[in-house]
Amino acid sequence: MLVNLTPQQWEAEVRKRGVDPREVSNPLQVTETMREEATHLAGWGTPGRRLDQLQTSLFDQRAFPFSYQLRTTLTAAEAYHRRQGNCLSFTNLFIALGRSIGIPVSMGLVLKVRSSEKEGDLIVVNNHVLAVYYAEDATKYYDFDLTRRERPAQFKELDDMWITALYLNNRGADELRGGHVSSASGFFENAIRLAPKFAFAWGNLGVARRRTGDTAGALEAYGHALEIVPDNPTILSNLSGLFRSLGREAEARTAIEAARMSAASPHQLLVRGDLELSRGRIDQAISFYKKARRMAPKLPEVYVAIARAELARKRPDVARKSLNRALKLDPGNPDATTLFASLPKSPPGA
């Protein structure tokens, strides 16, 4: 694996894979100032003890004031100087600081899907990373998501090209959310050049191409993604949406039914439930919706979906309770508001 590369080695490898190093940033680049502070924050002791102290110091707002920004993907140097960033930015920073004091820290991509976001009719899954150090007696994990408590059941160790590709993919997702589709496509394409087996970068490129109207290019990108992960629910859900937008309903259903739903995120379960509801299979739809609710009890869309299914079962009072829950979580939710307004009036005293 290509790990712990020097800046010169990183630049040479990036160029070897067909990417101009001037177009991308090294997410693990450090400055002498960063190295000096890492030495101070980590203190003395065994490598594992120094990494423990480094993480503790980075979490200490007095020692290292840092603002967590969900949609701000930065290199280690940017995160250090700006004192902000998301989980990936913070992990980049920790790994770079650890390596700067001679400790070979690596990055792990957690394979189990944790959460998702829905943007229009597209689903974006939030991947999670952590820092990994192989001590003599045990593997140590350093997580920078403070809401996470459990140890990872399975993760993929990333080399420095994969780490760069993950950074570029996240930057592309940030650009995509901001409506900068052309810029996003460039990030995804470079990510793929550095890590050709990065399925989610291929999938995100499909999203970007679809948004520019390049249907053939989007289908090609989704095809490459599915060659790597044939039953991935995120890729298949987005492909299903593309087919549906083209009026190819049968193919849309085939795609969504092929998804490995045991690995699905809450929004993917909602998509599958919506498909069942459209086919008149209400009980099956509610089963998917309730599974989504167990996974994400604070997601308003879950309760809106359940309400639609209850209305299909001619149970408006149950639907009303579900919509009340959705509106409590998100008072301005347009789907909940519209559906609530369509409910029959409750009789006086009900």
279 and 223, same structural domain?
no
From CA 44, how far away is CA 243, in angstroms rounded? 58
The CATH number assigned to the domain holding 324 equals 1.25.40.10
pLDDT at 344 over 90: no
163 and 202, same structural domain?
no
Q: What Å distances lie between residue 278 and 52, 241, 283, 284, CA to CA?
A: 52, 14, 12, 11
Kindly state whether residue 272 falls inside one of the protein's structural domains.
Answer: yes
pLDDT at 254: 82
337 and 206, same structural domain?
no
Q: Please report, to the nearest 10 degrees, the dihedral formed by the alpha carbons of residues 50, 52, 56, 58 taken in order.
A: 70
- 237 pLDDT band (50/70/90 cuts)? confident
Q: In sequence order, which ranges of 178-315 are alpha helices (DSSP H)?
A: 181-194, 199-211, 215-228, 233-245, 249-257, 266-278, 282-295, 300-312
Q: Answer with the one of 196, 230, 254 that is the final residue of a domain.
A: 196
Using left for φ > 0, alpha for ψ between -120 and 50, and beta otherwise, residue 138 falls in beta
pLDDT at 148: 55
Average pLDDT over residues 33-38: 96
pLDDT at 201: 93
Average pLDDT over residues 249-271: 83
Q: Answer with the one of 240, 263, 286 that is the final residue of a domain.
A: 263
pLDDT at 347: 56
- In contact, 297 and 306? CB cutoff 8 Å: no
Kindly state whether residue 106 falls inside one of the protein's structural domains.
Answer: yes
Kindly state whether residue 2 falls inside one of the protein's structural domains.
Answer: no
- 151 pLDDT band (50/70/90 cuts)? low
- Residue 226 burial (C-beta neighbours within 10 Å; 0-12, 13-18, 19+): buried
187 and 130, same structural domain?
yes
13 and 148, same structural domain?
yes
pLDDT digits (tens, 9 = 90+) for 93-130: 999 999 999 999 999 988 765 566 676 656 666 678 89
The rounded percent of the chain whose pLDDT value lies above 90 is: 67
Q: Which domain holds residue 147?
A: 7-196
Average pLDDT over residues 72-91: 93
Q: Which of 210, 201, 145, 212 is nearest to 168 (CA)?
A: 201
236 and 119, same structural domain?
no
pLDDT at 225: 92
pLDDT digits (tens, 9 = 90+) for 287-321: 999 999 999 999 999 999 999 999 999 999 999 99
149 and 77, same structural domain?
yes
The CATH number assigned to the domain holding 113 equals 3.10.620
pLDDT at 2 over 80: yes
Kindly state whether residue 67 falls inside one of the protein's structural domains.
Answer: yes
Pairing between strand 84-85 and 67-68? parallel
- In contact, 172 and 202? CB cutoff 8 Å: no
Overall number of domains in the chain? 3
162 and 274, same structural domain?
no
158 and 24, same structural domain?
yes
